[in-house]
Amino acid sequence: MQLELLNDLDYTRYARWLRRITGVEHDFAVCHADGAPAWAALPASDIGAWIGAQCAGGFAWPAIGDGMQRHDADGVTMLYMAIHAKSGLLGYLAVRVANLAEAPVAWDVLAETLEDIGAGIADEVAAKRELDNMALELSERYEELHLVYAIDKQVQQLEPGADLFQKLLQSWAEHMDADVAAFVKPGEGLCVHATNLSAPIHNLDLVLVEMRGDLYRFTHSARAPIVINDVDDPRRAYIFTDLPFKLLCCPVIHDRSVVAILVLANHLEKPDFSNSDRKLGELLANQLSGLSKMYGMLAETQKFNDQMANALIEAVEAKDPYTRGHSERVHYITMQIGAAMHLGTRDTEDLYWGSLLHDVGKIGIPDAVLCKPGRLTADEFTFIKVHPERSYEILRHIDRLKGAVPGARHHQEKYDGTGYPHGLKGNDIPLHARIIAVADTYDSITSSRAYRAGRSHEVAMAEIRRVAGSQLDPAIIRVFEEVCAAEPEWIARFNIARDVEASVKAAA
């Protein structure tokens, strides 16, 4: 580093300084700490070669006391002075003069000037070193900012969950040019990894097992980043035993406890993990700590929402044992249709809750009506028709479910405008409601009731085709037909009857 700094300096101003103070155009040179010339003042001078020959002959720049030193050889005299910095010896200043028995008085001026020049060079080297360090620091900070920006951008674009960690790890592996990046959280059985391989890793599963085991336990106890580069690192006796990889492992800390680790692994042929890599690892570990905590909170919220939804569904179905499982079946079939339509993330979530809670308004229907085994009277059917509005009244107070309300509220509308509660027609009916209506109709036909047994899949599909354009949206029906054409496993799982003869006739 010092060699590079000496090479980068402009010595012409120091030569002018020497000439101005001494009044002589000296045969002046600057040499490195090993004696090799770095610069000579006179272009035609052979002082560099001469000094090189002296060093080759055993000259080792001896110093007696401080100040300027003298060396006589080949009929000439070289006066030289060491250049010192806080970090140690930088090099030498050398002036070749006539070989005189006694030193002239002018040499005193020369010595003082060389001392000033040496101090000036040392200060300039120190300033350049400081600038270089600042540039390196800025470069490292830029790397950190770039990584933080990449993390923030991906977090905004992705849904929370294992996929989020997967995307972040892939980005980090590429950014850090690492073979493997892994996020390990044993408490939740989570081990997500991404690869950016410079060479194959045939035992990757074993590597991940070691991360979940001894490496996690060691980091959990150490509570500090771990860097293992050297092959003979003593920690290899109990961490990654016989596995030829360099490791950077950073703890992920919540409330002063290590809950996870972030790991980079590289083949031994790749460069060592640096202090800058360690800092970036700590930075990302801190980011993932917050994300992991947020993910945990969202998971708890999701669990609570599911439990609340299940409690509401249980309350509805407890009133009528013949409709038990209806909400779950309609919900599942609805989501199959939504997936086939490639709905976006937000639409999918709203459809999820709207289909699951579409009949929650039946809580307010009298048992005598809801559980009646025979045909309903006109007044009784009017009670039934109230349930979508009751669903709306129940769900509209929950901000999280505002997008799900239209699907639940309007799933009994008919495509020709003769449905309820508002008589909406065609595409004025919310898309989610049109999807739920197809699934609801299918399950109503195939499910058993107190007054009849469930009908076959083929009968249900025939009836759904018959009411296309009047009761149900034809476009949604076509999607549902594509779903069913693949013979989905849920037909058997929901114990839906099959009519082989009807199926053969339909095919003919």
Q: Report pLDDT digits (tens) over 345-375.
A: 889 989 998 888 888 877 767 666 666 666 7
Is residue 154's pLDDT more than 70? no
Q: How confident is the model at residue 140 (pLDDT cuts 50, 70, 90)?
A: low
Q: Do the Cβ atoms of 30 and 37 come closer than 8 Å? A: yes
Q: Each residue of 455-498: pLDDT tens digit? A: 999 999 999 999 999 999 999 999 999 999 999 999 999 999 99
Residue 95 has pLDDT above 60, yes or no: yes
Residue 253, beta-bridge partner list:
258
- How much is the pLDDT for 368? 61
Determine the pLDDT at residue 191.
86
Q: Where are the domains of the chain?
A: 2-132, 163-297, 320-507
Q: Is the pLDDT of residue 246 over 90?
A: yes
Instruction: Using CB atoms within 10 Å of the CB of residue 334, give its burial: 0 to 12 exposed, 13 to 18 middle, 19+ buried.
Output: buried
Q: Is the pLDDT of residue 324 over 90?
A: no
pLDDT digits (tens, 9 = 90+) for 186-216: 877 888 899 999 999 888 888 888 898 889 9
How is residue 166 annotated by DSSP? H
Nearest partner of 15 among 6, 5, 24, judged by Cα: 24
Using pLDDT thresholds of 50, 70 and 90, give the confidence band for residue 132: confident
| Contacts of range 293-298, beta carbons closer than 8 Å, 24 or more positions apart | 293/254, 294/160, 295/160, 295/161, 295/164, 298/160
Mean pLDDT across the chain, nearest whole number? 84
pLDDT band of residue 260 (cuts 50, 70, 90) is confident
Block residue for tokens 């060691």: 218
What residues contact 395, with CB distance under 8 A and at least 6 apart? 357, 360, 401, 404, 405, 408
**CATH number 3.40.630.10 is the correct assignment for the domain at 163-297:** no
Q: Are 163-297 and 320-507 the same fold in CATH?
A: no
Residues 395/359, Cβ–Cβ less than 8 Å: no
Say whether pLDDT at 424 is over 60: yes
pTM, two decimals, is 0.49
Buried b / exposed e along 223-235 (16+ C-beta atoms within 10 A): eebbbbeeeeeee
* CATH architecture of the domain covering 320-507: Orthogonal Bundle (1.10)
In the structure, what pLDDT confidence band is assigned to residue 88 with cuts at 50, 70 and 90? Answer: confident
Question: What is residue 169's predicted lDDT score, i.e. its pLDDT?
Answer: 83
Q: With a cut of 60, say whether residue 311 has pLDDT above it.
A: yes
Which amino acid is residue 175, in one-letter code? H
Look at residue 382 and tell me whether its pLDDT is greater than 80: no
- Higher-pLDDT residue of 290 and 210 is 210
| In the block, residue with structure tokens 């849920």 | 490
Can you give the pLDDT at residue 2? 53
pLDDT in tens, 10-38: 899 999 999 999 998 999 999 999 999 99
2-132 placed in CATH 3.30.70.100: no
- Residue 205 burial (CB count, 10 A): 9
**How confident is residue 388, by pLDDT bands cut at 50, 70 and 90?**
confident
Distance between CA atoms of 132 and 127, rounded to whole angstroms?
9
Q: How many CA atoms lie within 13 A of 188 on its CB side?
A: 17
Residue 216 has which token pair?
A: 């996690």
Q: Which residue has the higher pLDDT, 137 or 499?
A: 499
- Cα-based distances in Å from 42 to 30, 48, 53, 149: 12, 10, 18, 53
Percent of the chain surpassing pLDDT 70: 83
d(CA 136, CA 131): 9
Mean pLDDT along residues 254-280: 86
